[in-house]
Copies of this chain bind each other. A is one copy, B any other.
Amino acid sequence: MSDSAVSEHGRAAYAVLRQVRPLTLQAARAVTNTLQGEPITMGIRAVLERLDDQGPQTVPQIATWLDVSRQAVQRVVDDAHAQGHVEVRANPAHRRSHLIVLTPRGRDAFQRLHADELATLEMVAAEIDRSDLVTCARVLEHLADALAARNRLI
């Protein structure tokens, strides 16, 4: 590859990264709209999604995933607990770091919200080829994994 071809490839990858911020912003607005009138906040929704997806998690694990402080996650977990959406269990692996577990009520609440989100996404993605969606998700995952590997080396 010539220098300019290499640089063109980097620019094509940068074009992907440049689209990430606007999409994050609009997706957050769409979720905020969905949550109007719900007791579930964006933060609680994010925690419920993570627990639904990954099973029981500690507060530090959720904090790492969301890239926010443990204190911020603890406040959100306390709110979700007061709403009956999560419960706290002893952690066999770490005596001092309890596991946060989705309750059946929390699972129902997340899955109801998520069904609405999927319906919205079906509409907004209707004109995009399925194979392009699959390619896009694969490219994003590859970029995130490759960047993570590089970040660990530094």
Which chain B residues lie closer than 8 Å to A134 at the CB level?
A: 12, 15
* A127 CB-CB contact with B under 8 Å: yes
Stoichiometry, as copies per complex, reads 2
Q: Give chain A's interface secondary structure class.
A: helix
A13 near B122 with CB under 8 A, answer: yes
Which chain B residues lie closer than 8 Å to A8 at the CB level?
A: 130
B12 near A144 with CB under 8 A, answer: no
* A39 CB-CB contact with B under 8 Å: no
Which residue on chain B has the smallest CB distance to residue A17?
B27
B137 near A16 with CB under 8 A, answer: yes
Q: A10-B122, A29-B147 are in contact. List 4 more A-B contacts (CB 8 A).
A: A8-B130, A12-B130, A12-B137, A13-B124
